[in-house]
Structure 1
């Protein structure tokens, strides 16, 4: 994974968090009835992008298969990933719940997922600062 790909995935991670914050602030006004699932989905996407950026920066590769569990295993191979991998695992475990389930995700559950995503993105920023 080359530097531009790492930078792009890092930008994606931040963009998904920014979008989640906008949904929190403006979602009801924009007619988004199901804030929980939207925020939760964006949190999942932010966490996956952050994990990709960390792995790309530290290992020079990222998991690209259909099994997102591979991304968690790969993240655990990095020093910062050992402490961040549980957050990514939690987000990936919720992917079906947030993106495919007919059940509505509560805003409290979405906030928990967003917290996990923020930890991953903060960890990613620390890694990228250290390596630059």
Structure 2
């Protein structure tokens, strides 16, 4: 959970100070980690593959439909945030921020 908190804190600190893609990338890392924490707390397993959408499926199987939907939405921006020179919009930053915080809060509930 420590790394999840670090990524979230970094994203929140960077928001408004650094480019949108860097901020969103940190929020995405927090969301991915939170998804792993949620799965681990509920099933004893977490996604070990490089396919982060597998974590979405694992969350669904664990009964975490809202978390699965949030992670799926966050992951839609991953390629653009990490590899594109095109900047993400303020709307995308806010959405990714909101959903990442939602996932981290759920992870905190399950693994304080």
The residue matched to 1:102 in structure 2 has which SS?
coil
What corresponds to 2:39 in structure 1? Answer: 55
What corresponds to 2:48 in structure 1? Answer: 64
Deviations 1:2-59 (Å, cap 9, x if unpaired)?
xxxxxxxx2111111100111126x2xxxx4x2x111110111000000001111111
The Cα shift of 1:68 comes to 1.2
What corresponds to 1:75 in structure 2? Answer: 59
**Equivalent-residue separation in structure 2 for 1:109 and 1:66 (angstroms):** 23
Dislocated runs of 4+, deviation >6 Å: none
**Equivalent-residue separation in structure 2 for 1:112 and 1:93 (angstroms):** 11
TM-score normalised by length of structure 2: 0.91
The Cα shift of 1:106 comes to 2.0
What corresponds to 1:7 in structure 2? Answer: none
Select 2:72's aligned residue among 61, 86, 89. 89
The Cα shift of 1:118 comes to 0.4
